Each structure stands twice: as C-alpha cells, then as structure tokens.
C-alpha cells in the first residue's frame, strides 16, 4: 500500500561558540523532531544562511566575531527570520534591546532544553507553523480501521466476535497518532514528539516497545493482517483506511 511521508520537520539553526552547549542542544532538538544545523560563529551562520532556509535561528548574544544583538537586527532586516536570543545576562535592558531589534524571544542561560523547545514551538505557532499536531481530531471520539473499533474515551479496541482489549495510556496515545496519520511513514523521532508529554524524555527504545505491544494487540483480531508495519531504517506506519464514527 502506498504511503505518504511525514510532514517536513521545522528547520532550526543553533549558533553558539561553546561546543558543550551547542552540540548537546542540537541533539536534544533533533530528538524533538526538529531538523537542526549548527554554527560556532557569525561567519558560519551566514554561510549556512546563504544555502539553506531556516524556520528559527537560536542565536547566542556573545560570539567571537559578532554581537548577537546586531546580528539579530541584520537577520530581521534581511529576511525577517525568527530569532531566539541566548544570553547569560538577565537584565530588563538587554531583553528590551533584543526585542526592539527584532528578536522573537529571549532565553537566559542556564536553561532547561525543554524550555527552549517550548519557546521554539511558540515562535513557530506565531509564524503559522506547529510541530506538535493533535494526535486526533478534537471531535473524534471513536474510529474504525482494519476491522477494529477504537474508543478514545475508553481506550478500548473491539471487533466482532472478540472481547474488548484495554489499551494502556501510552498505547492509546500512540494509536491515536497513527489513526491521525494513516498510511503515513512516521519516524521514531516524530512519534516521540507526537506522543510524549512536554516534560518527558521518551527514548527510541521506549517507542519501539510501545509499537511492539500495540502490534501484538492488533494482531489478536487477525494474525494475517499486518496493520502496524515497520519500515526498516525509516519508522512505522499504520496501513489501513481510517474513518471516524460514533463512540
């Protein structure tokens, strides 16, 4: 069955001259489904911007070859690129200056990486982009797919002639994501972003375990029906036509 690729991940450029900040932060953001590039100075930033477009630039105020405030102003004037400033100076004057020069947000070091994720998502929403679509339509309370009936409220799977199967909270949340994206390839990183709570840190291995448990429960109805498929090296997809229905 043909399937569609997952929506393109938002592109983030992290500019910071401290490798011990820059690289772990980039890794964390990638775990939350962003496509990330890094630069250690202003020269590297401009080089990347010549060839690539970014949805957000996370910019350190103190760089060896440029003032972050002035760079923010240049970015704002040249292409209105959204900028989140990173700084160790937490003063009202600095915050006001940064915002006046076109910064979209301002975060003070040290900070929790998940706070930056929230700030990036907020900027993307204001720009008309969203990285965490709802796992299911707000109006949907139940679905039919592959011979199954799934109740969102009860977190139960039912099919004719078989007893209801109770899903865990994690399994229910994961299934809702697949039902909201039928026949769509979802990489592990995308599934982490769509299923994890904002303050949790879900691993690839945890997602694999949840998919495995959900697959076993879906196989109880028809051992030959391969609904939840693994696309090796790419991710997972739900191979089924999905419709909303009455609870």
Domain ranges for the chain = 4-126, 142-244
* pTM attached to this predicted model: 0.53
The pLDDT score that the predictor gives to residue 98 is 66
Element housing 96 (H / E):
helix 92-100
Q: Give the end-to-end CA distance of the chain in Å, rounded to a whole number.
A: 28
CB of 12 closer than 8 Å to CB of 120: yes
Q: Half-sphere exposure of residue 95, counting CA atoms within 13 Å on the CB side?
A: 7
CB of 84 closer than 8 Å to CB of 116: yes
List the chain pLDDT tens, one digit each, 247 residues.
Answer: 444 455 567 889 999 999 888 898 988 888 887 889 999 999 999 999 988 889 999 999 889 998 888 898 888 777 778 899 988 776 666 666 666 667 788 888 888 888 888 888 888 877 665 544 433 334 458 899 988 999 988 889 998 877 889 988 888 889 988 998 888 888 887 787 777 643 344 566 778 888 998 998 888 756 556 889 998 888 899 998 999 887 6
- Which residues pair with residue 157 across a beta bridge? 150, 165
Q: For residue 184, what are the contacts with CB-CB under 8 A and spacing of at least 6? A: 3, 4, 5, 6, 237, 238
The CATH fold of domain 142-244: Arc Repressor Mutant, subunit A (1.10.10)
Q: Half-sphere exposure of residue 93, counting CA atoms within 13 Å on the CB side?
A: 1
> How many angstroms separate the CA atoms of 37 and 22, rounded?
10
Specify the CATH architecture of the domain 4-126. 3-Layer(aba) Sandwich (3.40)
CB of 164 closer than 8 Å to CB of 156: yes
> How many angstroms separate the CA atoms of 146 and 221, rounded?
10
Element housing 189 (H / E):
helix 188-195
The pLDDT score that the predictor gives to residue 95 is 65
> How many angstroms separate the CA atoms of 165 and 114, rounded?
35
Q: For residue 221, what are the contacts with CB-CB under 8 A and spacing of at least 6? A: 146, 147, 148, 159, 162
In Å, the largest CA–CA distance within the chain is 70
Kindly report the length of the chain: 247
Going by DSSP bridges, is the β-strand pair 105-108/83-87 parallel, antiparallel, or unpaired?
Answer: parallel
- The sign of the torsion formed by the CA atoms of 52, 55, 58, 59 equals positive
């Amino acid at each position: 069955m043909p399937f569609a690729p997952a929506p393109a991940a938002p592109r983030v450029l992290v500019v910071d001259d401290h490798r011990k900040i820059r690289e772990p932060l980039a890794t964390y953001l990638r775990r939350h489904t962003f496509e990330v590039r890094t630069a250690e100075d202003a020269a590297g930033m401009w080089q990347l911007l010549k060839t690539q477009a970014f949805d957000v630039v996370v910019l350190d105020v103190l760089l060896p070859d440029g003032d972050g405030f002035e760079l923010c102003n240049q970015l704002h004037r040249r292409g209105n690129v959204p900028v989140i400033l990173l700084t160790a100076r937490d003063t009202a004057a600095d915050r006001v200056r940064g915002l006046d020069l076109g910064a979209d947000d301002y975060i003070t070091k040290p900070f929790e990486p998940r706070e930056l994720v929230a700030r990036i998502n907020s900027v993307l929403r204001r720009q008309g982009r969203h990285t965490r679509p709802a796992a299911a339509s707000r109006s949907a309370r139940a679905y039919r797919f592959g011979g199954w009936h799934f109740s969102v409220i009860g977190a139960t799977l039912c099919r004719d002639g078989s007893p209801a199967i109770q899903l865990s909270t994690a399994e229910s949340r994961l299934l809702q994501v697949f039902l909201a994206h039928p026949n769509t390839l979802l990489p592990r990183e995308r599934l982490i972003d769509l299923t994890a709570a904002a303050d949790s840190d879900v691993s690839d291995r945890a997602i694999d375990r949840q998919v495995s448990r959900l697959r076993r429960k879906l196989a109880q109805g028809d051992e030959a029906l391969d609904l939840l498929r693994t696309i090796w090296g790419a991710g997972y997809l739900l191979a089924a036509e999905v419709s909303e229905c009455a609870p």
